Chain A
Amino acid sequence: MELYNGERPSVFRLLEKYMRKGLYSILTQGPIPTHIAFILDGNRRFAKKHKLPEGGGHKAGFLALLNVLTYCYELGVKYATIYAFSIDNFRRKPHEVQYVMDLMLEKIEGMIMEESIINAYDICVRFVGNLKLLSEPVKTAADKIMRATANNSKCVLLIAVCYTSTDEIVHAVEESSELNSNEVCNNQELEEANATGSSTVIQTENMESYSGIKLVDLEKNTYINPYPDVLIRTSGETRLSNYLLWQTTNCILYSPYALWPEIGLRHVVWSVINFQRHYSYLEKHKEYLK
Chain B
Amino acid sequence: MDLKPGAGGQRVNRFVDPISYHFLQFLWRTLHLLVSLWYLQVSMVQMIEGFLISSGLVKRYGALDIDKVRYLAIVVDSEEAYQISKVIQLLKWVEDMGVKHLCLYDSKGVLKTNKKTIMESLNNAMPFEEAVEKDVLLDQKQMTVEFASSSDGKEAITRAANVLFMKYLKYAKTGVGKEEPCFTEDQMDEALKAIGYKGPEPDLLLIYGPVRCHLGFSPWRLRYTEMVHMGPLRYMNLGSLKKAIHRFTTVQQNYGT
B204-238, CB < 8 A from A: 210-216, 219-220, 222-229
Given A28-B9, A170-B184; A91-B256 close (CB under 8 Å)? yes
Tell me whether A178 is interfacial, beta carbon within 8 Å.
yes
- Of the candidates B28, B181, B225, the one whose C-beta lies within 8 Å of that of A174 is B181
CB pair A173–B164 under 8 Å, yes or no, is: yes
In the complex, which of the residues B166, B212, B225 has the most CB atoms of chain A within 10 Å of its own CB atom?
B212
Selecting from B81-89, B94-102, B154-162, the interface stretch reads: B154-162
CA A241 – CA B53 in complex, angstroms?
Answer: 30
Q: For the complex, is A8 an interface residue (Cβ under 8 Å from B)?
A: no
Given B25, B157, B224, which contacts A169 in the complex, CB threshold below 8 Å? B157
Residue contact A73 to B223, C-beta cutoff 8 Å: no
Could you give, for residues 143-164 of chain B, a 1 whenever the CB lies within 8 Å of some chain A CB and a 0 otherwise?
0000000100111011001101
| Residue numbers in A under 8 Å from B228 (CB-CB) | 238
A176 to chain B, nearest CB (A): 6
Q: With an 8 A cutoff between CB atoms, is A25 at the interface?
A: yes
The reply to whether B188 and A173 form a contact with Cβ atoms under 8 Å apart is yes
**Whole-angstrom distance between the alpha carbons of A177 and B166 in the complex?**
9
Task: Report how many residues on chain A are interfacial, defined by Cβ distance under 8 Å.
Answer: 72
A1, B5: Cβ atoms closer than 8 Å: yes
Across the interface, B6 reaches (CB within 8 A) one of A121, A165, A252, A254, namely A121
Contact of A282 among B8, B183, B211 (CB under 8 A): B211
* Contact A248–B213 (Cβ < 8 Å): yes
Contact B257 A92 (CB under 8 A): yes
Q: Give the residue name and chain of the A residue nearest to B28 (CB).
A: A29
Q: Are A184 and B169 in contact (CB under 8 A)?
A: yes
Q: Is A146 an interface residue (CB 8 A)?
A: no
A248 to B75, CA, bound (A): 14
Distance in angstroms between the alpha carbons of A13 and B172 in the assembled complex: 63
Choose the segment among A48-56, A104-112, A212-220 that binds chain B (4+ C-beta atoms closer than 8 Å): A212-220
Chain A residues near B222: list those with CB within 8 A: 240, 245
Q: Which residues from chain B contact A73 at a C-beta distance below 8 Å?
A: 5-6
Q: Tell me, rounded to whole Å, the shortest Cβ–Cβ distance linking A42 to chain B.
A: 12
Among B7, B11, B158, B220, the residue within 8 A (CB) of A213 is B158
Across the interface, do A21 and B213 meet the contact criterion of CB distance under 8 Å? no
> Are A252 and B213 in contact, with the CB atoms below 8 A?
yes
Measured CA separation A242–B155 after assembly (Å): 19
A71-86 vs B, Cβ < 8 Å mask (1 yes, 0 no): 0011110100000001
Contact between chains at B226 and A238 (CB < 8 Å) = yes
Contact, CB under 8 Å: B6 / A289: no
Query: Is A12's beta carbon under 8 Å from chain B?
Result: no
The answer to whether the Cβ of A62 comes within 8 Å of any Cβ in the partner chain is no
Determine the chain B residues whose CB is within 8 A of the CB of A213 once the complex forms. 158, 161-162, 165
Number of residue pairs A-B, CB distance < 8 angstroms: 191
A154 pairs with B3, CB closer than 8 A: no
> What residues on B are CB-neighbors of A128 within 8 Å?
none
Q: How far is the CB of A225 from chain B (nearest CB, A)?
A: 14
Question: Which residues of B have CB within 8 Å of A215?
Answer: 154-155, 158
Bound together, the chains give a CA A254 to CA B9 distance in angstroms of 22
Q: Is the CB of A249 within 8 A of B165?
A: no
Q: Is A226 an interface residue (CB 8 A)?
A: no
Tell me whether B165 and A212 are in contact (CB under 8 A): yes
Q: Interface range on chain B: under 10, 10 to 19, 20 to 34, or 35 or more?
A: 35 or more
Residues of B within 8 A of A277 (CB): 32, 35-36
User: What distance in Å separates the Cβ of B194 from its nearest Cβ neighbour in chain A?
Assistant: 14
| Cβ-defined contact, B183 with A239, below 8 A | no
Q: Is B107 an interface residue (CB 8 A)?
A: yes
Residues of chain A contacted by B253 (CB below 8 angstroms): 239
**Chain B proximity of A270: nearest CB distance (Å):** 9
Kindly identify, within residues 30 to 74 of chain B, every residue whose CB is under 8 Å from any CB belonging to chain A: 31-32, 35-36
Contacting B at CB under 8 A, from A217-242, are 218-219, 238-242
- In the assembled complex, which residues on chain B have CB atoms less than 8 Å from the CB atom of A178? 180-181
Closest Cβ of chain B to A51, distance in Å, is 21
- Return chain A residues, CB-CB under 8 Å to B155: 215
Instruction: Write out the residue numbers on chain B whose beta carbons fall within 8 Å of the beta carbon of A240.
Output: 222-223, 225, 227
Could you tell me the distance between the alpha carbons of A49 and B256 in the complex, rounded to whole angstroms? 20
Q: A212-B165, A242-B223 are in contact. Are A121 and B5 (CB under 8 A)?
A: yes
Q: Beyond A176-B165, A276-B32, list 11 extra A-B contacts (CB 8 Å).
A: A29-B27, A70-B5, A173-B181, A173-B188, A181-B165, A240-B222, A245-B222, A248-B214, A252-B213, A253-B229, A281-B211
Which residues of B pack against A, CB within 8 Å?
1, 3, 5-12, 24-25, 27-28, 31-32, 35-36, 107-108, 150, 153-155, 157-158, 161-162, 164-166, 168-169, 172, 180-185, 188, 210-216, 219-220, 222-229, 253, 255-257
Enumerate the 6 nearest inter-chain pairs by beta-carbon distance, A residue then B residue, closest first.
A88-B256, A76-B9, A28-B9, A29-B28, A245-B219, A177-B181
Q: List 10 A-B contacts (CB under 8 A).
A: A1-B5, A29-B28, A32-B9, A121-B5, A121-B6, A169-B220, A173-B161, A215-B155, A240-B227, A249-B214
